Structures are given as C-alpha cells and as structure tokens.
Amino acid sequence: MSLLVSRLSLYSPWLSSVVRNRNSLALLLTHLSNQPLDSSRQPDRLVSISVFQGFPHTMSLSASRLLACLTWLVATLSLLAEASTPVVVNGRSYEVDTVITRDVCVIGGGGSGTYAAIRLSDLGKTVAVVERKSRLGGHTETYIDPATGAAVDIGVQLWHNTTVVRNFAARLNVSLVDISYSPTAITDYIDFRTGKIVTGYSPVEPSAADFVAYAEQLAKYPYLDNGFDLPDPIPSDLLLPFGDFVKKYSLQKMVGVIFGYGQGIGDLLSQPTLYVLKLVGLTILESLSTGFLTTALHDNSLIYEHATAILGKNVFLNSTILAVDRESPEGVKVLIKEPTGLTLIRSQKLVSAIPPKLNNLRGWDLSETEKGLFGQFSNGAYFTGLLRETGIPDNVSITNTRNDTLYNLPVLPAVYTMGQTGVPGLVSVFYGSPSPLPIAQVKEAILSDVKKLQIPGKGPSNPELAVFSAHVPFECTVPASAIKAGFYKKLNGLQGQRHTYYTGAAFQAQDSSLLWQFTEALLPNITGASGNHSRRGYA
C-alpha cells in the first residue's frame, strides 16, 4: 500500500481532484462499460481525454484500455478512501481503520463489564465492549486438564444464591447447581517458612453464637452490600483497624473464617474495618447458611463464553485503549488498538469497569478531580494457579499457619492454601500480598515452598505450574483518614459526570455476585430509564 501511495503522490494535485470527483469518474466508467465495442468496425479507435483539470497531460488510448485503467483507478481510490479515516481525539490526530457508533461503550470485560453489556443490550442499547485480554471474564478463569478433560476453576469459585445471579445465568443459558464440598480426609497446618507441620495446633472453630455476634455488627450497616453509599459522618467503628474492631466486639473466633473468605485483602488486621465488612458481609454469612452456587459443569467460564457469543462482533478482545475523549456534549470518543488496526468508538455513554488506578487510565482525559481521587487508591495482589508433580497426596490440603503470630495468621506475602482439585495430581494454590509483586518472584516462591514441604505421605517432588494467574490490582483501598474525609462521597459524585458511569470492585467489593447486583442498580442511571426498570431487570 505504501508503494502505491508513493507512486500516486507524483500526481497529487490531479489526484486530489480525482478524489473529490470520484463519483463522476465512476459514472464515466459505468457509461463506458455499457457501450459495446465493435472491434471489426473500429479496431483502432482512440480516445483523447483530459480527465480533470490539473492532470499533467492528456491520455490517448483505446476505449478498452481506458476502461481497464478507469476500473483500476476507481478500485484503488475506493480502497484508499476506506483504508483510513482522519479523526481527532484529545486534540491529537489519528488515522483510524474503522469508526463505529454505539449507545454505550463498556471498557473492561470482566464480571462487571460483561454484565453491564448483556443487560444494556437486553434493554435495547447498542454496546461495544473493549477488553485487553483474549477473553471475557476477568477474575473468572478455568483450566481444562488435557489428560482428563476436567474443568478446574482457578479464579471465581462460586456465586451467591440470589435472584440477580440466577436470572443472569438463565439469560446466558448456563445451568447452576448448589456447590458441594468433598471434605478432604486430611488438612495439614504448615508453617511455610520451614515446611513443617505446626506442632500442637488445632484450628479455632467458631460457634453459632460467634457467627451471630459478627452478624449483629454487620446488621448495623445494611448499606454495605450496595456500594459505598456511606452516611456522613462515617461511623467510627468502620474506620478502626480490623484487629481493633475484633477486640472491641470479642470476635476473635471469627478471624480464621474471615481470613479464609477474605483472601486478597492484604493485611487483614490492619485494614480499615469498612473493607473487611464489605468483603465478608451479610451476603457471605447467608450463603454459608443456605449454600453457594456454581455451574453444573463446574466450569464458571461458561458464563462469559456464552456472553461472548451473544455479544458477537460487539466484543473487542486483545484491544488496548489509546485515548478516551469525554469533552463533547454529544458523547464520548474511545480510540482502541486492535490486532487488525485502530478503531474509533463513538458512543453517548461510557461505562468504566476496570480498576480506577492511574496506570490503568493512560490516554484518558482525566479531570483534576478524577486524578486526585483515583491517585489515592492502593491495592493488594492475589495470585492463583495449579501445580503438578508436587508429591502432595491427593487426600491432603494444606493451610499456611504460624504459631508465633496473632490468630496464627501467616505474614504476607505468602501462600494462603494449597488444596486438591478433584483431578489426581493437580493441586490448587492461592497466594497473597499486601502490594504488587513481580510474577516471576511469586512463581519462584510457590515452587520453593512446595519443595520444602515436609508432610506425611509426600512423594517425589519436582513441582511445576500448569497454569498461573495474577489478579492485580486486587482490593483497591484508601486510608481511613481519606474515608473519614469523604472520599467515597466524592467518588460516587463522579457517576454520570462527563457521560461516564463506573462499576467494578473499587465501587463495590471483590465479589462477582455483588458486582452484578451493583451494576444492575446502576442501569437506570445509564439508560435514563424510569421507575419501571426493576420489572424488566433482575433485581
């Protein structure tokens, strides 16, 4: 193409005229193609034509030759005209390959973004979903064991049994079942620093009264399951480090349960209580009583595979954001880089479903207010994977435990647990850190920990990771001082500003079921729907 353009540039003054008048040229071509050529009567008929003012010389050629030339020229000009379109985004000029228009552009194809796209589509809106990975689903990831064909979820393991969850799965034609646990015969409590069993340790089992005591605290804050719509002033207990909150309300026996369900939150005891109560809230307690859900085929990625099929060409995978322009009263411009070229998405509304960290928002036209808020977020890191050749018996699970820490919790970064998957020889691993870590460092630490394990029945150990995933950033938080100063009131004030709406864990919690619920509640604001939305929706 570049060589062709170079050659045509020799005739740039004339070519500009041709481009402006290519429709007239096409009409001439059509006229000539409809004229029969009688070669027996006029074999040498020549045509002299000065096509457009500015062409450097006249052409003298046979009608058949002229027809061939014009055919080539019209095809070439059409190709050039369609090859790129000049656009301006955030004051910068680009040549894009494709321009599309949608009602809503959704950035991020994880749980929140996919839910938003499907529901908006159901509500009659045209959508485009931009996702940097090769699939939708975000933290929901599934490994298919090549030897057995068995599916093993290494990300999102379960959902709450709620109306929103059941209806969304039904919409996507994915069957759900109550999750059933096959208790492992043995759980070993290991100090991963040494690889040895912690002598004399037995886990604390909370009683029904302990669960009730925790539930009573949660009941004080019913709004915590629905985003960060906090009262003013913020209740002081929500600002306490969770370790202090535990002591204040004698919740010591609940710490182990909360630590297990709150994986990825970082240093549990130092986090503001607000974040712990949101992550392990009333919905979790209800599900512990009534049961969780999973897919009937034990492949939670089916939710997102079916969603991808429904959304079809409106999903832009392996795509990165180059620029986001929200200044126009008419709507939004999102410039993305696909494997096949540059695409400009014009939309009336934008749904941001990605972690609002500044390094995730490069190319966005952020206001000073947005920069000031998003720049306050810090985050932990959560890593998951599957191991082979560990030597760990198939009936053994391992919990990282210490005998020299409060509540026997491991000091992060560290492994949380290693457990069986139902596939012989395949062991799950979950690893957490209060801050991001290089992936290579985490992998090396996990493999080293496996080699150090000294447990009964362990066989030869030459561990390798069959699959590994970094869930980073995970659990975006701000300090208690920022919460007290009204951070979340200001953050919620961004909803609807500059045509943009926000969903995702930073606006709710690291919980797919609650994220779908939060996004469902946001839909009337995005669509401008009236109060009849709930009759059409899942709430």
Per the CB < 8 A criterion, the answer to whether 396 and 186 are in contact is yes
Give the chain's end-to-end CA distance (angstroms, integer). 53
Q: Would the pLDDT of 236 be above 70?
A: yes
Q: Can you name the residues that pair with 414 across neighbouring β-strands?
A: 432
Q: What is the CATH number of domain 180-290+378-477?
A: 3.90.660
Token duo for residue 257: 């349960």
Pairwise CA distance, residues 187 & 493, whole Å: 47
Q: How confident is the model at residue 185 (pLDDT cuts 50, 70, 90)?
A: confident
Write the CA distances from 27 to 35, 46, 78, 228, integer angstroms: 13, 20, 14, 63
Question: Pick the residue with more confidence: 75 or 498?
Answer: 498
Pairwise CA distance, residues 159 & 175, whole Å: 13
Q: What is the CATH number of domain 96-137+312-373+489-536?
A: 3.50.50.60
Residue 180 pLDDT: 83
Per the CB < 8 A criterion, the answer to whether 218 and 285 are in contact is yes
Grouping H, G, I as helix, E, B as strand and the rest as coil, residue 536 is helix
Give the model confidence (pLDDT) of 189-226 as tens digits.
Answer: 999 999 999 999 999 999 999 999 999 999 999 999 89
Question: Pick the residue with more confidence: 357 or 21?
Answer: 357
Residue 63 pLDDT: 52
Q: Would the pLDDT of 262 be above 80?
A: yes
Q: How confident is the model at residue 70 (pLDDT cuts 50, 70, 90)?
A: low
Angle between helices 12-20 and 22-33 (to 10 degrees): 80
Token duo for residue 251: 């919740």
Residues 6+ apart with CB under 8 A from 520: 115, 119, 164, 537, 538, 539
Pairwise CA distance, residues 398 & 429, whole Å: 9
Per the CB < 8 A criterion, the answer to whether 293 and 179 are in contact is yes
Q: Please state the rounded mean pLDDT for residues 14-31.
A: 41
Q: Please state the rounded mean pLDDT for residues 287-306.
A: 96
Q: Would the pLDDT of 17 be above 80?
A: no
Q: Which runs of E-coded beta strand occur in 286-412? A: 292-295, 315-316, 320-325, 332-338, 341-352, 378-388, 396-400
Give the model confidence (pLDDT) of 419-466 as tens digits.
Answer: 999 999 999 999 999 999 999 999 999 999 999 999 999 999 999 999
Pairwise CA distance, residues 476 & 434, whole Å: 11
Q: Would the pLDDT of 296 be above 80?
A: yes
Residues 6+ apart with CB under 8 A from 101: 126, 345, 346, 347
Q: Enumerate the CATH 3.50.50.60 domain ranges in the chain, comma separated.
A: 96-137+312-373+489-536
Percentage of residues of the chain with pLDDT beyond 70: 82
φ and ψ of 45, to 5 deg: -65, 130
The mean predicted confidence, pLDDT, of the chain is 88
Per the CB < 8 A criterion, the answer to whether 142 and 154 are in contact is yes
- Secondary structure (H, E, C), 10-75: HHHHHHHHHHHCHHHHHHHHHHHHCCCCCCCCCCCCEEEECCCCCCCCCEEEEHHHHHHHHHHHHH
The C-alpha angle with vertex 207 and arms to 201 and 208, in degrees rounded to 5, equals: 160
Lowest mean pLDDT among 2-11, 113-122, 375-384, 525-534: 2-11
Q: Please state the rounded mean pLDDT for residues 370-375.
A: 98
Q: Please state the rounded mean pLDDT for residues 503-526.
A: 98
Lowest mean pLDDT among 59-73, 225-239, 347-361, 493-507: 59-73
Grouping H, G, I as helix, E, B as strand and the rest as coil, residue 166 is helix
Write the CA distances from 306 to 133, 169, 170, 324, 480, integer angstroms: 17, 10, 11, 28, 41
**Residue matched to tokens 């020229």:** 73
Pairwise CA distance, residues 515 & 536, whole Å: 19
Pairwise CA distance, residues 111 & 515, whole Å: 7
Q: Please state the rounded mean pLDDT for residues 38-46.
A: 39
Q: Would the pLDDT of 396 be above 50?
A: yes
Pairwise CA distance, residues 488 & 377, whole Å: 11
Give the model confidence (pLDDT) of 268-285 as tens digits.
Answer: 999 999 999 999 999 999
Residue 41 pLDDT: 39
Q: Which runs of E-coded beta strand occur in 52-171? A: 59-62, 85-89, 92-96, 98-107, 127-130, 142-144, 151-153, 159-160
Pairwise CA distance, residues 128 & 336, whole Å: 11
Percentage of residues of the chain with pLDDT beyond 90: 81
Per the CB < 8 A criterion, the answer to whether 398 and 453 are in contact is yes
